[in-house]
Structure 1
Amino acid sequence: MTSTGPDGGRWTTSEVVRLSGVTSRTLRHYDAIGLVRPLGTAPSGQRVYGRAELLRLQQVLVLRELGVGLAGIARVLDARDDPAAQAARLREHHTWLLAERDRFDRLARTVASTVESLEGGTVMSVEHLYEGFDHRRYEPEARERWGDDAVDRSNRAWASMSAEERGAHRAEGLALSEALAAALRAGTPADDPAVCALVARHHAWVSLFWTPTAEAYRGLAATYTEDPRFAATYDAVAPGLAAYLRAAVDAHADAVAASGS
């Protein structure tokens, strides 16, 4: 803690990053859009946050987990509620989080059963393969980020696919992650032609649902490192894979732009 004030303390950006896990870039964005503004600036030049700002950031993160978009979060937090109304809202959030905990427990049991099935040579009932999954939870965030048209097209494309086609799409995603991880472990530069070929496959894999522009594709790759959920997914395959894929996408986009195609 940098210093003590009447409200219990002051924290710099670096301390808030350490405490919350939110990146400094995200904090700057939240400041720019008026979602979480700092109290002021420390002599070092870093932004300074008080306890009230840390509480507001906590509520932002909870609402993000609930799938609420940033504009919706601002409307919720800027409402002129009294402390009792704020507590009631947080109680609702708490109820949802408990439900999510139970869902993750079900998901963990599903994965454990799958492992036992594979190791024991038994066949797991298909009705039990997807217990605990909720593929709709990120849709509000996707609509905010990419727009309703893109999400609606994606939903229609997924709905039109057969079970075999969906399985093939998942398998291609896994194959791409493993191939990129192998290149990363081998020390292959992100702009190597072989890696660019993998990125072209990745672009085609994404384009099955949504064909991004060059800048949108860069933006998608940026989320692989900036969004902890994406980063954890890729880095579970190989440490550093999220950043490697982002660099490879950027290199691919640069090459395409240079070629004029």
Structure 2
Amino acid sequence: MEWSIQELAARAGITSRTLRHYDRVGLLAPSRIGANGYRYYDPTAVARLQRILLMRRLGMGLPAIAEVLADEVDTCDGLRAHIAELEEERDRVERQIRSVRHTLEALQAGAEPRMDVMLAGFNDHYKDEVISRWGERAFQVSNDWWHGKSLDQQRAWKQASEDLVAAWVAAARAGISPTSARAQTLAARHVRWLSEIPGTPTADGDRERSIAMVKGVGDMFVDDPRYAAMYEDAAGAAFVRDALQAYARTRM
């Protein structure tokens, strides 16, 4: 089976001139040239054109595409790589759709407070940090979980989070011990809060990694000024850290 240059161009949504240019620059030669001088393309050539068009849509220039095709040994491996790239692009577009949908819902509901945070996503701002600490899956799963929530669900979850922080601040102000019953009850509540986020070790039920995560979260509250400020000051952050680490040592 083969197709003429006019048939292939029409099916691909490009011009015959583009196909001839691809031949001139060494990207895509016709499978054969007939006695009449017409160019014909077989399925292998069409598969190569498909890959060229995919890379063009990803913003690659012709020289870069030529390098990719020249370096490849196995066409199927190349197609698998493109499938993975297209799936990533699909996921990105789906996240954008969800974000815009949330914006529309917010405008219709007259919502204003901290929309930048709600619409940015659960942990987009800390993507690299989340991945470095807990892996790519932890970020992706939790991020998809957050973006999959409705605006009302996002609001409710953020309110619960703010209530938890407020409870920690009140406990720290009270001057109680991090190992007291009140502090340890808050620590248990904090761990339950973490377990509600898909992709985390606490959600997965991985005890050893959960303990490491809870201890690491406690350290992060003290070491990172962004988090320490949530608990008013360094002393408040240290109180939360000590309570969480005591809970991790004795109750997890």
Normalising by structure 1, report the TM-score. Answer: 0.46
Normalising by structure 2, report the TM-score. Answer: 0.47
* Higher Rg: 2
